[in-house]
Structures are given as C-alpha cells and as structure tokens.
Amino acid sequence: MNKARRILARLRTMDFHDVVNHAEILRARWWTAAWYARFFGAVGKGSWLRKPSQIHSPRHIFLGTGVRIEEGAVLYSVTRSADVYYTGTIHVGDRTFMNKDCNLTAAFRIDLGRDVAFGPNVFVCDFDHGYHQPGISRLATPLVSKGPISIGDRCWIGANSCISSGVTLGDDCVVGANSVVTRSFPAGTVLAGAPAVAIRRRDDATGQWVRVREHAAA
C-alpha cells in the first residue's frame, strides 16, 4: 500500500510528457527482461534498452545491473569480415548510461566500467578496415586493431566523440564533446580535441583539477 501511495504521489508531480517517458522506460525494462535477456550473454537486474537501432550477435554482449541504453543504439559484435571470423565481445558495467544513438562495435573486446555515462552519438570501435592493399575494396581487407578498448569507472564521454582501438581510459576520465580519442590516458584526466589531448588532470595530493598543456601525438 505504501509503495502504491508513493507511486501515485510521484505521478501527481509529473506532467504528461514525464508520464509518457516513464511508461516508455517501464515498457523497455519489461521487454529487455522478457526478450533481450533470452539472447544476450547476460542482462543484469533492472537493465533496459529502449528501441535499439541494431543488435548483432547478442550472445557476445554482456550488460551489468541497472544499465540504461537509450533509443537508436547499435550494439554490434563482429563475427565475420572479409572471410575472417571474429568473436567480438562487449561488456557494459553496472549502472552505465548510454544516451541516444550510441554505437559499440567490437571485433575483439570492449569493456565499459561501472557508472560510465555517454552523451548522444558516441562511437566506440576496436578495429578499422585495412588500407595497405590497393585495388580492392576496404570492406574486403582484414580488420586491423591496436587492441581492445577499456573505459574505466565513472568516465564521462561527451557527445559525438569517437574512441578507437587500443585505447584505455582510467577511472574518472572526462572526454570533451566531438573528441577523437586515439590513445590511452590515465585516471583523472580531462581530454578534448581531434586527436584528443589532456587539458586537465586531477592532483591526487590536493584533490584539485589542474590545467595541463599537452600537444597532440605525432
């Protein structure tokens, strides 16, 4: 009874659009538990996907608890490209949030930590198409990669950012909007640009964020 009263009290504070959004999330939670959980490698309690754009080879995709993935997402585990077979795995940590139109594509491995937050339209991909063989389609060349991608706990990835293969971001990193991240950064780094460079770092001794000047890697 008390729970019902709390729900009714909350509904009274919502306008029409809030109610519609809340209903959509409830539907997404139900559909994720009833349908997607049958096919994914794992789906933790309370996780939901809302109207994904594309899911490929979901048995290689693992969601922790309380994961929220907004509409338009692409979760793509590559299994074959240019007659080469792959087993791309995607691991999404507890309570991670992906805003609209985000894309995780793995031929090898992508790991997202806990409490990671994505702005809209973020692209994370652990490979590229080779270009060293002239005269053939890039789609017919083997995939090339600098290694798996690992994003630490509590990282914030700004809108329209791209994170490429071999990148590791330590805990509590912040990626500015429209950044292209091509190399790794330690925990507590604010980075931005194309290619991304460090602009602030957390001083562990003082707990303050201090400015740094770093040139893009050649």
Q: Which CATH number is correct for 35-211, 1.10.1200.10, 2.160.10.10, 1.20.210.10, 2.120.10.10?
A: 2.160.10.10
User: What's the confidence (pLDDT) of residue 83?
Assistant: 86
User: What's the confidence (pLDDT) of residue 19?
Assistant: 67
Contacts of 77 (CB under 8 A, 6+ apart): 56, 57, 58, 59, 60, 61, 87, 88, 89, 90, 106
- Find out whether the peptide bond into 58 is cis, omega within 30 degrees of 0: no
3-state secondary structure of 19: helix
User: What's the confidence (pLDDT) of residue 132?
Assistant: 77
Of 131, 135, 140, which Cα lies nearest the Cα of 81?
140
Residue with tokens 């809108």: 159
Which token pair is 5?
Answer: 């009263």
- What are the φ and ψ backbone dihedral angles of 184, each rounded to 5 degrees? -85, 155
3-state secondary structure of 3: helix
In the chain, which residues have pLDDT < 70?
Answer: 1-14, 16, 18-19, 215-218
User: pLDDT tens digit string along 143-184?
Assistant: 999 999 999 999 999 999 999 999 999 999 999 999 999 999
Beta strands (DSSP E) in 93-215 are 97-98, 103-106, 109-112, 117-118, 123-125, 128-129, 143-144, 149-151, 156-157, 162-163, 168-169, 174-175, 180-181, 189-193, 196-202, 209-211
Residue 191 and residue 212 in contact, taking contact as beta carbons nearer than 8 Å? no
Contacts of 9 (CB under 8 A, 6+ apart): none
Distance CA 155, CA 55 (A): 24
User: What's the confidence (pLDDT) of residue 7?
Assistant: 56
